[in-house]
Structure 1
Amino acid sequence: DDINSIWARAREALPPRILCLVDNVQLLRRSAEDAKRDARQWAASAGDADFTAARTGEEGEGEAGEEAASVYQSGSIGNATRLIDVVRSAVGANQITAGSPEIMATMEQLCRFQQSALSSTAELQATVMPERGERLISIPEGAFSGTVIPPQDQVKAIKSQQICASRERERMIQGLQNMAAADKTEHSAAVRSVLTGFGEEDIQMTAADLEETA
């Protein structure tokens, strides 16, 4: 049997509550990565030095993640690997489902699938089928169930437009603030001159004035 057939059988054996996580684990992970990138971008545009310094070590990882996302297409193997992490956390000591025999059995099946899938890299690359066509959000009885997930190139284009618009608004706000400060300075100087009177250095005598005075 090929890897996809093994995964299909393992997927059919999953309980309904865990099965609904399969299609959403990847979406949640990408959403978390997008949130981190957005936070770094907003901090950089706002000039938050403390936040930027705290995230400096993550810049390389974020750039590598963006490059990987541009060429990555998830398949059954990636979903199964992330699902194993979710199931493993569900049987933790601090979880209400800790020690559940059904979840433990499911995790054993997934681990066997993972082991067989990762035993041969060449076979894995040859048999994995990438996703094609539109992807939909699958949330049972959810308000957004069936919504089309936009492709990565469209998401990146939208983000780029949002960043440019945000920077343009920031420049406009800074320009208005600078204009207000300049107007306030000129007004204060004029008021000060009226209240204190003009000094002798401000009075200019012309030749006609000197003749009339003489």
Structure 2
Amino acid sequence: MSDLKPALEAVLMVVDEPATEAHLAKVLERTPREVADALRELADEYTVQGRGFELRQVAGGWRYYTRAEHAAAVEAFVLEGQQARLTQAALETLAVVAYRQPVSRSRVSAVRGVNCDGVMRTLLQRGLVEETGAEPETGAILYRTTNYFLERMGLRGLDELPELAPFLPEAEAVEPDSLEGVPSFDPDAPDREDDDDKTEV
């Protein structure tokens, strides 16, 4: 395994999406078990050494990530003071899709109480949601989140989404189909309201 770890590091340095254990095993001509063990050992070693990056298993594969405690330094370097974040409207719409998928645009708009067509186009363009067939009754296009969404959120699967109940308001009744009160789960979410939320074009 002495030569496997450096090979894995070299490959993972150039991937643009999480690499699966099966794919890595095929490329490096090793067994999936050997690759899985080596990946976990590498991840543990980086943690013990206190490296500025970590090797994480997300969206069905493995990829390097900056450690959370160094996010501010990376953001300052990459963005240089400019904001490249989703608006509050986009985050809320993405939350509805994530928790109600597969879901139509009209259903998303009904939950949020505003027309979401423009925001949905933005999420599609960014690769966070995708089309997944049509609703049998109405023929409306249905949408779901993508593997890129899981990757950006650092999730292995949708079952790791946080439960909604702890975040729902206690003082007032909340309809079962409503997602009002759902907090933003984007780690880069800005703490502001979207001024264009009412028109959303």
TM-score range, shorter chain: under 0.3
**What is the TM-score with the length of structure 1 in the denominator?**
0.21
Q: Which has the higher helix share?
A: 1
* Length-normalised TM-score, structure 2: 0.22
Larger strand fraction of residues: 2
Structure whose alpha-carbon radius of gyration is higher? 1
